[in-house]
Structure 1
Amino acid sequence: MRKRSISAGFLFSAIITFSLLPIYADEHKFSIDGKVIDLDESNFDSAISSFDYVFVDFYAPWCGHCKRLSPELDKAAAALAELEKPIVIAKVDADKYRRIGDKYEIDGFPTLKLFMHGVPVDYNGPRKADLLVRFLKKFVAPDVSILDSDIAISNFVEAAGPHFPIYVGFGMNESIISKFAIEYKRKAWFSVAKDFSDKVMESYDFDKVPALVSLHPTYDEKSIFYGPFDDQFLEEFIKQNLFPLCLPINSDTLKMLRDEKRKIVLTFVEDENDDKTKKLIKLLKAAASANRDYLFAYAGLLQFQDFVETFEISTKTKLPKMAVWDGNEEYFNVIDSESIGEDDQGSEITRFLEGYKEGRTVSKKISGPSFMQFLNSMMGFKLIFLVVFIIAVMMIIHTLGKSDEDDASERPLRPDSSEVERSGDKED
């Protein structure tokens, strides 16, 4: 009887266990309803594997930037859920759930990543809801969009928006650029126009095919490439046109330089919105067009003082001033050709470039953090907790030391018998 009752009890437990399994599984099913999903260690992996595209906000409750980002994510979630290939927005408290934070090397808040079929990709784009939606739409778009009419071309360029360079191949087979469209998908839009009119050729300023046109809508720039269309020359054209002719340096564009290999011809100005500066930028663009081996950029002391001052520039420095920057810690001043006067600025820019190419330079180190340190200037939580830990240890040591002093001052000069016994025991 006892064996039967144990078997019956075991069978009953098994039935109950298996009957509860579907309920447990349901706890990890997610729906696309336009709302931000809260994740933790129990459901993070399940959520990432449930959707093709998941945009994850790794945040900390005490982070001010995270608090400002949260309502923007709420707005974006609804729009992204309506895409043909929907993107789900999720968030996880990486300060609380350290295992997740450590796994994805989260050392600052907020950190944003897009998981595409389970593979994380860093997101460094804008964080306002409307711009964030435009950026993320690109990740789920075809690698190369096929355009079959003038209207399709116009609609593609409009939908792509102004925030990424756009490449349109005319009279080309998509296989020619598909390799690079995949490689540079995070940085640009790619398309091939199969059918188009003479009016389009006139509008985009090319007169023969095949032709690859690059567009920078924000800067009203375009460039035409007629070949040769082998990998080396094609990729060189694509890479050189990922940036405008003269890039304004700010907190957003600075992130774009992470993978840039070219030296940066950097011009410092007082105010980048000043009329004199705008005239100078036109001259810099002309120089950039003739010197594609370099990336040209400018930074305003008024707009980005913290960055500009790392190059030993202050309000007392005569501006405009030029330098060649390696994109990290080192930069070069050209001897007797740093500052740009108001007369014949084009010639002075040319003289500066010639001086650099001839090696008439002085090498210097930026006075502040390196480029990567500058980008990651927000203190990561690991460093915060290290500092807190050190302070806590010092306080404990100080407290213990003070307690020993207090005990010593209160201890009688003649020890009692128990103390004598204890000291005798130690000697034995």
Structure 2
Amino acid sequence: MNIRLACLLQLDEAAPVLAGLSTPIVVAKVNADKYRKLGSKYGVDGFPTLMLFDHGVPSEYTGSRNADLLVQNLKKFVAPDVSVLESDSAIKGFVEAADISFPLFIGFGVDESLIAEYGAKYKKKAWFSIAKDFSEDMMVVYDFDKFPALVSINPKYNEQSVFYGPFEGTFLEDFIRQSLLPLTVPINKETLKLLKDDGRKVVLTILEDESDENSPQLIKVLRSAANANHDLVFGYVGVQQWLEFTDTFDVKSSQLPKIMVWDTKEEYEVVEGSERLEEGDYGSQVSRFLEGYRAGRTIKNKVGRGSPTLLGLNAIYILIFLIAILGALMYFSGQGEEQQRPRRTHED
């Protein structure tokens, strides 16, 4: 099945669901091969292209084209920047209606004007709401003991945190931005993009296998460290889970688990004497690593074979393969010309 047909089938599957939303989203298809002027008007230079029109303003949709994920992503475009909840049942309904793909923020007793700016700014990445009226039961459920309080919920990773202020300056946005990611991030193609967008450096731990019996204990230690070091993101990845990514950091099985600080681009740093985590007291070892990093006792290295990207390293192999085919074609073309030259001379 070609890509264009697969995309159209997913769009056809999503269309009735999108049309049935409280604020319907209309799906239309245009044959841009036939209506070229229309495609040119909106800068369409490849197919299939999905364009969103919000009050007549076009933008290209670059998210997942899977029908379920397409619905989840597009629901946010028609949702209010900040939902106003006026009862316990409204709070429950808001949480149930939001899918697990995005974090949720509920401001209990928080003035809407305080988070309206961030509701608009981070609309594509999270759900925002304020609860004007709520019972003590809600305080127990969401584990806060005073208000105003902004509760962050990350249902996908089963994490929750509370912010009591201050609600001015950069403190509020820092909390929101940091809560878009879980405390410890499993590195995969989806979260890699989030890490690059976040901008903070990553304390990256490379394991042999994320499902190994010792891995949960280490991840728990990393989560505790993340709670005390909000200027860094803590991530982990298993060699068994993503070999082409871990290979770019020049790791050997005998060196695992390996811990480093990665800038999410071309460079990473290891701390002298703390390159590897020995089985046992992970807490003390991670503390020593962070102490050494803060003190500048690091060795800088370049990410091997280029920075890991969303495309992965397969693109490099494909490129080499194509160059090899091109070279072969040029060679055989030259051989054909050589064979034809004597015949022309003889005919002359």
TM bucket by the smaller chain?
0.7 to 0.9
Aligned equivalent of 2:251, options 310, 313, 328: 313
Q: Which residue of 2 aligns with 1:294?
A: 232
Aligned equivalent of 1:405, options 338, 341, 344: 341
> 2:63 touches 2:73 (CA, 8 Å); kept in 1?
no
Aligned equivalent of 2:299, options 357, 362, 380: 362
- Which residue type is aligned with residue 346 of structure 2? E
Q: Which residue of 2 aligns with 1:336?
A: 273
Q: In the TM superposition, what is the alpha-carbon distance from 1:357 to its structure 2 partner?
A: 1.4
The C-alpha deviation readout for 1:157-216, integer Å capped at 9, x for no partner, is: 111121111110011111110101111111111000010001101111111111111011
> 1:268 touches 1:308 (CA, 8 Å); kept in 2?
yes
CA distance in 2, matches of 1:280, 1:97: 57
Q: Does 1:243 align with 2:181?
A: yes
Aligned equivalent of 1:166, options 91, 104, 109: 104
CA distance in 1, matches of 2:99, 2:197: 23
SS at match of 1:222: strand
SS at match of 1:355: helix
SS at match of 1:124: coil
> 2:63 touches 2:70 (CA, 8 Å); kept in 1?
no
Aligned pair in 2 of structure 1 residues 182, 343: CA closer, same or farther (>3 Å)? same
Q: Does 1:175 align with 2:120?
A: no
Q: Does 1:323 align with 2:257?
A: no
The C-alpha deviation readout for 1:231-286, integer Å capped at 9, x for no partner, is: 41111111111100001011221122231211001111112122311111111000
Q: In the TM superposition, what is the alpha-carbon distance from 1:90 to its structure 2 partner?
A: 5.1
CA distance in 1, matches of 2:36, 2:343: 41
Aligned pair in 2 of structure 1 residues 128, 339: CA closer, same or farther (>3 Å)? same
Q: In the TM superposition, what is the alpha-carbon distance from 1:339 to its structure 2 partner?
A: 1.0
SS at match of 1:214: strand
Aligned equivalent of 2:286, options 340, 345, 349: 349
Q: Which residue of 2 aligns with 1:132?
A: 70
Q: Does 1:157 align with 2:95?
A: yes
Structure with higher Rg: it is 1
Larger deviation: 203-212 or 86-95?
86-95
Q: In the TM superposition, what is the alpha-carbon distance from 1:364 to its structure 2 partner?
A: 1.3
Q: Does 1:123 align with 2:59?
A: no
Aligned pair in 2 of structure 1 residues 85, 275: CA closer, same or farther (>3 Å)? same
- Which residue type is aligned with residue 130 of structure 2? V
Q: Does 1:280 align with 2:206?
A: no
- Which residue type is aligned with residue 410 of structure 1? H
Q: Does 1:304 align with 2:304?
A: no
CA distance in 2, matches of 1:270, 1:365: 22
The C-alpha deviation readout for 1:39-93, integer Å capped at 9, x for no partner, is: xxxxxxxxxxxxxxxxxxxxxx854xx5554433321122112123222445678
- Which residue type is aligned with residue 166 of structure 2? P
- Which residue type is aligned with residue 277 of structure 2? I
Aligned pair in 2 of structure 1 residues 259, 87: CA closer, same or farther (>3 Å)? same
> TM-score, length-normalised on structure 2?
0.86
CA distance in 1, matches of 2:40, 2:305: 28
The C-alpha deviation readout for 1:291-311, integer Å capped at 9, x for no partner, is: 000011111111111111111
Q: In the TM superposition, what is the alpha-carbon distance from 1:119 to its structure 2 partner?
A: 2.8
- Which residue type is aligned with residue 123 of structure 1? T
Q: In the TM superposition, what is the alpha-carbon distance from 1:397 to its structure 2 partner?
A: 7.0
1:29-40 maps to which residues of 2 (within 5 A)?
none
> 1:163 touches 1:218 (CA, 8 Å); kept in 2?
yes
- Which residue type is aligned with residue 199 of structure 1? D
Q: CA RMSD in A?
A: 3.4
> 2:245 touches 2:312 (CA, 8 Å); kept in 1?
no
CA distance in 2, matches of 1:288, 1:187: 21
How many residues in Structure 1 have an aligned counterpart in Structure 2?
343
Aligned equivalent of 2:154, options 216, 236, 247: 216
> 2:51 touches 2:58 (CA, 8 Å); kept in 1?
no
Aligned pair in 2 of structure 1 residues 310, 113: CA closer, same or farther (>3 Å)? farther
SS at match of 1:310: helix
Aligned pair in 2 of structure 1 residues 114, 266: CA closer, same or farther (>3 Å)? farther
CA distance in 1, matches of 2:52, 2:312: 19
SS at match of 1:219: coil
Q: Which residue of 2 aligns with 1:266?
A: 204
Task: Name structure 2 gaps, 5 residues minimum.
Answer: none
> 2:102 touches 2:125 (CA, 8 Å); kept in 1?
yes
Q: Which residue of 2 aligns with 1:191?
A: 129
**Identical pairs, percent:** 48
> 1:328 touches 1:372 (CA, 8 Å); kept in 2?
no
